[in-house]
Amino acid sequence: MKQWWKWPVILLAACFLAFAGTGTAQAEMLDTTNFGDNAETVTISKVPRGKAGSKISIRMTIHNTGTKGDNYLEKIRLVNAYEYEKFMRDQFGDEDDDASELAWYDSSFPFEATSETFAEKEINVKPGSSKSVTLTYRLRRDLAAGYYQAFFYIDDNLRIGVNLWVSAYDGSTDEDDEDTESLDYSFSTGNNQMTPVGAYGQVLDFGVNLINTGLKKAYDVRVDMQLDADVTKFPFAINEGNYLRTMGDMEPGQMVTVPYTMVVRDDVKTGFFPITYLITYREEEGGEFSEPVEKVFYVRIEGEDDDELDADAGEQERTKARIIVDSFETVPAEIYAGQPFELRIRMKNASSDVSASNIMFTFESEEVENSPIFTSDTGSTSVVVNSLSPGSTADLTMLFVPSPTAEQKSYRMTIKEQYDSPEFKNAEEEVKIALPVRQEPRLNTSTIEVMPESIEVGSETNVMFGINNTGKVLLYNVMARFEADSVQTVETYVGNIKPGETGNVDTMLTGAAPTMDDGRVRIIISYEDENGIVTETEKEMLLFVTEPVDMSAGMDMMGDMGMEGMEEEASGPPLWPAGLAAVAAAAGILVFVRIRRRKKNAGMKEEEEDLDDEIS
């Protein structure tokens, strides 16, 4: 058979030889946001950079925006010469241009052409997910410095474009260079460890060894275990809102162990389960997080043996359908106690050849003190589906209201199934999902005491009040910040406040400038939730700051008057007793504040000693 496929490669090589050494004109930068399918299909965090004559790595994240029933995105390839010419003419060229058919290609195509340049590469991105892909090519040595474009086809129907920045060839020889950029940041999981083994209904403590196999230091490395409500895909009970682990900075070659304590589900089957982790990091301290790197780690689970369970069952029971939870979501995404939400769940007949009919799904909530956490807004908790053929799905929607007094954690929802199969009538099964419930944080403040309520510039006043946690969740790292043009900004740390308890604010404010408004001082109270998200609420207080009184000027005036002047004015009321009274009053207030503050500090110290005695 004639190898006709070699001719395009030979033509391309001849084309490059003809133009070698002539210097390539740089193209304009392409607005990739409006090109082809870029907006929905691909994300590129930074423009790939390379040197003419060297290899360049093009790193992108490909998104499959399809639904469960759509196909995978399977392959990606670089466009050939004629496709590249068409793309460039569409972007920059004139339709009536009579130039050579390969003019754009000869002047702007940035890569050396070999038999592997245009080969397809497998990506296999499943519907609804994303995947990071790195493609490496060698740049032409005759490229002038500037922007160039690379165009790709995904499965020969999606078009994407990528801008490249190329610096000019500097005469160095690096023909054997490797893809050093892709080796800068890389990770490996499961090195030098056995596969963890757990049994149904028991707690499995295990760690995942993570090694920085890249050449550079990775900052703020984070590992996020991916969860799934389907027991056939994820063997552990979901008891936390997320399973994100922060591992800190990692030097090249450094290994850390990511710890987990998981409860194995009661209804899990025996087998090996792939657990997916998404690893993110910063390339520089304080920089943006990278695109997630996906890694898989396997665990072995010993579940209830199917043969033992069915040993006493009749022959018909072995052919009943298996109905599972394919996916679910809630609207809104976060469930708050006392607030209604929609549970949208997709049930699937996972059997390959057994159908199900007359299916009734009944939702049963986990109970606390004999009261269900989730109640139906309509009173009904059952849904009927006529039939499910093998592999088909049914979408169900239920409206629930979580108990206003529910603690902030995940609660179990059991879906009981009753259905008929051709060889089994009134089959009964159940599946479980976990729904996390959150509580709205709430707080209020006691009466704000300001003593004194008016001060001079440079003087201090004492501010005291309590912050009451009236919600059902712990308030972390509570802070109080005082802001106004007339005072120096002060921030006071209060600490963590448990539900039903009070944190006290006791601080001194210093006058910075005379009050020019109505004397309002903003009090910004901030706190964090269990995920470190900061929330702020604002209060106000009144404080007036005045210019300091120059007492020395008054005393000098009294001295100038002398005794004679005082005798001449003896018929009128003397002024100096009023001045002394004002000074005495100010001194008295200052003494009162100091004594009150000492008493409060002494009381707090006494409470701490009592607390130490209790703990000991």
Two tokens, residue 206: 């295990």
Answer for the pair 396, 347: CB distance below 8 angstroms, yes or no.
yes
Nearest-angstrom CA–CA distance, 419 and 93: 64
User: pLDDT value at position 28?
Assistant: 59
User: pLDDT value at position 553?
Assistant: 55
Mean pLDDT of 354-359: 90
Cα–Cα nearest to 42, from 71, 19, 64, 11: 64
CATH (residue range 187-304): 2.60.40.10
User: pLDDT value at position 574?
Assistant: 54
Which residues have a Cβ under 8 Å from the Cβ of 287 and sit 6 or more positions away?
219
User: pLDDT value at position 6?
Assistant: 43
Which residues have a Cβ under 8 Å from the Cβ of 430 and sit 6 or more positions away?
414, 415, 416, 417
Where do the structural domains in the chain lie, given as residue ranges? 6-176, 187-304, 317-438, 443-546
**Would you place residue 229 in the very low, low, confident or very high pLDDT band (cuts 50, 70, 90)?**
confident
Q: What is the pLDDT of residues 325-340, one digit of tens each?
A: 999 999 998 999 999 9
Nearest-angstrom CA–CA distance, 161 and 110: 13
Mean pLDDT of 296-304: 85
- Is there a common fold for 6-176 and 317-438? yes
Mean pLDDT of 126-136: 83
Does pLDDT of 605 surpass 50? no
User: pLDDT value at position 34?
Assistant: 64
R_g of the chain, CA atoms, integer Å: 37
CB-hemisphere CA count at 13 Å for 189?
20
User: pLDDT value at position 309?
Assistant: 39
Two tokens, residue 195: 């596969």
What DSSP state is assigned to residue 46? S
**171-185, 355-369, 440-454, 548-562: least confident range:** 171-185
Highest CATH level, class, for 317-438? mainly beta
Answer for the pair 324, 431: CB distance below 8 angstroms, yes or no.
yes
Cα–Cα nearest to 340, from 367, 368, 374, 363: 374
Answer for the pair 89, 96: CB distance below 8 angstroms, yes or no.
no
Does pLDDT of 312 surpass 50? no
**Would you place residue 557 in the very low, low, confident or very high pLDDT band (cuts 50, 70, 90)?**
low
Mean pLDDT of the chain: 79
Q: Are strands 393-402 and 374-376 parallel, antiparallel or unpaired?
A: antiparallel
Mean pLDDT of 443-448: 93
Q: Is 77 helix (H, G, I), strand (E, B) or coil?
A: strand
Q: Name, of 43-47, 374-378, 462-466, the range with top average pLDDT.
A: 462-466
* Higher-scoring residue by pLDDT: 483, 20: 483
Angle at 342 between CA 340 and CA 345, to 5 degrees: 150
6-19 vs 81-91: helix crossing angle, rounded to 10: 60
Does pLDDT of 154 surpass 80? yes
Which residues have a Cβ under 8 Å from the Cβ of 543 and sit 6 or more positions away?
450, 453, 454, 455, 461, 484, 486, 487, 509, 515, 519, 521
Nearest-angstrom CA–CA distance, 596 and 463: 12
User: pLDDT value at position 311?
Assistant: 42
**Would you place residue 91 in the very low, low, confident or very high pLDDT band (cuts 50, 70, 90)?**
low
At the topology level, CATH places domain 6-176 in Immunoglobulin-like (2.60.40)
Q: What are the counts of helices (DSSP H) followed by strands (DSSP E) for the chain?
A: 8, 37
Share of the chain above pLDDT 90, in %: 34
Two tokens, residue 594: 């100091």
**Would you place residue 143 in the very low, low, confident or very high pLDDT band (cuts 50, 70, 90)?**
confident
**253-257, 341-345, 562-566: least confident range:** 562-566
Q: How many residues does the chain have?
A: 616
Q: Are strands 341-349 and 393-402 parallel, antiparallel or unpaired?
A: antiparallel
CATH number for domain 443-546, candidates 3.30.1280.10, 3.60.20.10, 3.30.930.10, 2.60.40.10: 2.60.40.10
Answer for the pair 141, 170: CB distance below 8 angstroms, yes or no.
no
Q: What is the pLDDT of residues 165-224, one digit of tens each?
A: 898 887 765 544 444 445 678 888 887 788 888 888 888 999 999 999 888 899 999 999
User: pLDDT value at position 201?
Assistant: 86
Annotate 113-142 with DSSP letters as a single string: --TTTT--EEEEEPTT-EEEEEEEEEBPTT
Give CA separation, 246 vs 210, 222, 225, 241, 250, in Å: 12, 5, 12, 15, 11
**Would you place residue 560 in the very low, low, confident or very high pLDDT band (cuts 50, 70, 90)?**
low
Does pLDDT of 465 surpass 60? yes
User: pLDDT value at position 591?
Assistant: 44
Mean pLDDT of 263-285: 89
Dihedral-angle region of residue 229 (phi above 0 means left; psi in -120 to 50 means alpha; beta otherwise): alpha
Residue 13, exposed/middle/buried by CB under 10 A (0-12, 13-18, 19+)? middle
